[in-house]
Amino acid sequence: MTEVVLDGESLTVAAVVAVAREDATVAVSDAARERVRAARDRVEAVLDTDEPVYGLNTGFGDLVDTRIPRERVADLQTNLVRSHAAGTGPELPREAVRALLLTRVNALVKGYSGVREVVVDHLVTLLNERVHPVVPSRGSLGASGDLAPLAHVARLLLGEGAADVEGASDGEWVPERLPGDEALATAGLEPLGLRAKEGLALVNGTQLTLGLAALLVHDAERLCRAADAAGALTTEVTMGSTVPVEDAIQRVRPHAGQAASARAVRRLCAGSEVVESHRNCDRVQDAYSIRCLPQVHGAVRDAVAHLRAAVETELNSATDNPLVFPAGDISRHTSGTDAADVVSGGNFHGEVLALRLDYVRSALTELAAIAERRVDRLLNPHVQEAHLPPYLTPESGLESGLMIAQYTAASCLAECRSVSTPATDTTPVSGGQEDHVSMSATSAHATRRTLGWARTVVGVELLCAAQAAEFVEEGLAHGDGTAAVYDAVREVVPPLDGDRSLAGDIDACDALVANGALDAAVAEALGSASLAWDQDR
């Protein structure tokens, strides 16, 4: 994807990833530009009436009843941006800033925000020229939008604050931090003087939460696929049964995620001589962490799908306040002229994302929990299969093998659990005017951390399952997909032939999931049939 065309209607999760991580360029459609110009004309028409309209010529929040004279309206917008740029904490990573910028532009070009076209063009240029405002990550309450982070972005348009400007050096893009006005100049931009409604349109919206959530959806879907792959290899090398993933079992409990994870394991293990070698053994059942893989992994898939649905809607929604409509769109004319209605609502409230992010965070914690239990079954001499040596080293006792890898997985699981408490709480602000907030950005940050820890646990399972494969009877072939999983791990981690530091091995397996290499290896091995296990691609 080399260019993403924004029209306010068709932005996708894949496009957010392309712009945020792959530096796809951005353009705005002609139809969207026309809507932006029309909305601005409506704002100007309302200003000419001199009626009091929130966001145009009144104070904000608790100061809503304070009337601003016409000659101070521009000052009002500038003051709003400066005062709301009150963030703190670690800076947002590059990809989060780009996702925030992209989603904000798409919301503006829906044509209900009332900004001038030049404001949109400045934001697009920042993306295309790799000029990234410095944005503290904390300060949003997820209602009235992600105010503080968005204000730090808007501040750059004034020529204030700071930005990381990327220039090419020896074929690589190297960032240099510059003051706001100098950063704009590198992109050929002049600082903007904001006009009526523009400051509020820039800082009102769910775009920090949304940008993070869009990236999370992409990463969580990838992690679900990796967990299925790791679980399939573990099932195989522990001589587990694939009967629990048979289609008939899923048909009588037809949850979409469960069916997808079961289908994944079937395809990954198809053709496995390891599985066939014990098909008629006397074992009746496997432990839940293997037997109930479709039910647990599938429930996580369903949670992520629920978040995706909200993100896909939110990506193409107008989320600032007030919104500018043509006259007649609102059944009760509240403010404006015969040409426009400017109305206050609550589309900036992030609850629809906050609740689902909390849900996904709990789901990812469960994914880490079941993966850690499978790690224990691979390593623990009290529960592992007879063909596996304790801690997967033939000289256990003299050597600890992969014993401490499980400690690391358990530690990461504890990290997941430490932030699994729902973030959706409320603290009234702005003199009680904003008396219920969503804390959606807090949930997004916490879910991002949880996803990272859960991915490490799955990486540990991949590491241990690949090592267990070294003790499977020689000559037995892996499945069509599990062979690719094993080979992908061995591309980055050699077999354990004696005690060594495992830190690099764990990091390499984590990266194998994070960078999509495991996804690619399985897709290549299964060919077009990969779609049978990968419902998200």
Question: What would the two tokens of residue 110 be?
Answer: 């829906």
Mean pLDDT, residues 201-205 taken together: 93
> How many residues are listed for the chain in this entry?
537
Catalytic residue selected from 54, 112, 391, 486: 54
Structure tokens at 62: 């608790």
Which CATH class for the 3-206+319-343 domain? Answer: mainly alpha
The DSSP code sequence of 98-135 is HHHHHHHHHHHTTTTS---HHHHHHHHHHHHTTEEE--
CA distance 235 to 482: 10
- Find the DSSP H helices in 395-439: 403-418
Strand 131-133 relative to strand 136-138, pairing:
unpaired
Q: What is the largest CA-CA distance in the chain?
A: 87
Check if 54 is active-site: yes
Report the alpha-carbon angle 213-218-222, nearest 5.
135
Q: CB-side exposure of 473: number of CA atoms within 13 Å?
A: 11
* Residue ranges per structural domain of the chain: 3-206+319-343, 215-308+351-532
> What pLDDT is stored for residue 295 in this prediction?
97
pLDDT at 405 exceeding the cut of 50: yes
> From CA 476, how far away is CA 469, in angstroms rounded?
10
Check: CB of residue 16 under 8 Å from CB of residue 211. Answer: yes
pLDDT at 336: 47
Does the pLDDT of residue 402 top 60, yes or no? yes
pLDDT band at 340 (very low <50, low <70, confident <90, very high): confident
d(C-alpha 393, C-alpha 499), whole Å? 9
Give the separation between CA 39 and CA 195, rounded to whole angstroms. Answer: 14
Phi first, then psi: give them for residue 336, nearest 5 degrees: 125, -150
Can you tell me whether residue 339 is helix, strand or coil? coil
3-206+319-343 and 215-308+351-532 in the same fold: no
Say which DSSP state 331 is in.
Answer: S
What is the pLDDT averaged over residues 395-402? Answer: 92
What is the residue-averaged pLDDT of the chain? Answer: 90
Mean pLDDT of 138-154: 89
Q: Is the pLDDT higher at 80 or at 67?
A: 80
pLDDT for the residue numbered 531: 47
H runs (alpha helix) in 238-287: 247-251, 256-269, 273-276
Q: CA of 197: how far to CAs of 103, 119, 203, 214, 401, in Å?
A: 19, 12, 10, 27, 63
Lowest mean pLDDT among 184-193, 246-255, 284-293, 494-503: 284-293
The pLDDT of residue 510 is: 98
* Strand bridging mode 172-179 / 162-169: antiparallel
Q: Which two tokens stand for residue 313?
A: 């809607």
Provide the pLDDT for residue 533. Answer: 47
- 8-state DSSP, 434: B
For residue 307, give the nearest of 388, 219, 380, 393 by alpha carbon.
Answer: 219
CATH 1.20.200.10 describes domain 215-308+351-532? yes
pLDDT higher than threshold 60 for residue 534: no
Q: State yes or no: pLDDT of 389 exceeds 60.
A: yes
